[in-house]
Structure formats: C-alpha cells, structure tokens
Amino acid sequence: MFARLPLAVARSSSARLFAAGAGVQMSRNVHSLPSLPYAYDALEPHISQEIMTLHHKKHHQTYVTGLNAAEEAYAKSDDTKDKIALQSALKFNGGGHINHSLFWKNLAPASEGGGQLADGPLKQALERDFGSVENFKKELNTKTAAVQGSGWGWLGYNKGNGKLEVVTTQNQDPLLSHVPVIGIDIWEHAFYLQYKNVKPDYLNAIWNVVNFKEAEQRFIKASK
C-alpha cells in the first residue's frame, strides 16, 4: 500500500499503477487511508482543524476509494479498450493518494519543530541552489500560486544535475521528474475555508508548519 511505502520512493510507487499496461503482472493491494501523525487541530492557527479534518477524512479518502475501484476494475477486465479508459482514473486517484500521503508527513505542529529549518544538508543545498532560504520560499510560493486551476507546488531533487529545483504539477499528477522533497497542495480544498481565494496568505502561512526534518531526510536519501 502506498500509505506504508517510504515517501521518497513516490516515483516508483506511482509507476506500479501503470505496470500492467506494460505487460507486467502484479498482485493488487488494497490501499487504505494513512493516519495523520498529529491531531486535526495541531496545525492551528496556520491550518484550521476544519480544513484538516475534511481534507484528510473526505478528500484523501475519496482518492483511496477511487484508486481501489479503478485497480479492481482494471484487474477484472480483459478488454484493452476498457483498460485504456481506466488510465485516467488510475493516474488521478493514484496521484492523489501518493501526493497526500506525502503531504501529511510534510507538515508538523509548530510546537514540535514545524517551520524550523536547522543548519544542515538541506539548508546548505537550498542556499547553494537558490541563494538563500528566503529566495527558495519566494520562488516556490510564486510558482505554486501561478498554478492554473488545481495542482501542486514542489521542491524536488533533480537526480540528473544534483540540484534542488521548484516545479509544479497539475491536478493530482504525482511528481515523476524529480524526487519530491516538499509538496504544497494548492487545490482549493486545502485552504479555501480559511483563506478564501487569497492563495498568497495560505502559502505564507504554511511555512510555519512545514516539517523540514522530514524534508531533509528525503533530500539526504535522494542525494545519496
């Protein structure tokens, strides 16, 4: 189940959704909603209890349910056209499950170190690749706010050039071009009840609860 896989391997996790289309036979796992590593109100006042409850229990659960249904239908079908038709559901719901499973661990209460970036490999790499941590935050906020419709903003590690880079993905597309280090959900369900349509306020606030310790571990693992 994606909920149990190390998040640094999200790219390989997403690949299994499409493996059958490449002729690879795989047994189907039933995916489940992962538990939050903190209480629903633990990220207040930066992200409200109401948002976290709905986001986790309703929206993420919907992706899990949709993914299980799509994989079951795919496994039962012997018709190539039907399998092709299911690819969009696999990508959307599978991506939603991968992205949100990463997102929950991407956050931590301020009282437990959320928002605090200590001196170390991640901070050094951010300063190397962006000039400063503030420059990095500004670039990620700007590019994420510019996503049209719904999507995600990412800090990703580019294995090709060994650099940290800011990229975005549409809808629930998982990040495949880079190893995800930090992901920010810019779907309205992630912020609208609290921040309305003012994306910059949400993006500025979320840095108070970003789990940089988790992000650093992803970065260290990816860069080995």
For 156: left if phi > 0, alpha if psi spans -120 to 50, otherwise beta; the answer is beta
Token pair listed for 59: 């929206």
**Class of residue 88 by CB neighbours under 10 A (exposed 0-12, middle 13-18, buried 19+):** exposed
DSSP label at residue 108? -
Going from the C-alpha of 3 to that of each of 35, 137, 198, the distances in angstroms are: 9, 28, 31
| 15 vs 134: which has the higher pLDDT | 134
pLDDT score recorded for residue 3: 46
Q: Are 42 and 109 in contact (CB under 8 A)?
A: yes
pLDDT band per the 50, 70, 90 thresholds, residue 29: confident
Beta strand 179-185 with 151-158 is antiparallel
Per-residue pLDDT, averaged over 161-171, amounts to 98
Q: 216 to each of 70, 94, 106, 110, 164, how far by Cα in Å? A: 34, 25, 11, 17, 12
pLDDT over threshold 80, residue 70: yes
Average pLDDT, the chain: 90
Q: List pLDDT tens digits, range 147-162.
A: 999 999 999 999 999 9
pLDDT of 195 > 70? The answer is yes
Q: Rounded mean pLDDT of 55-63?
A: 98
pLDDT of residue 28: 61
* pLDDT over threshold 50, residue 223: yes
Per-residue pLDDT at 22: 38
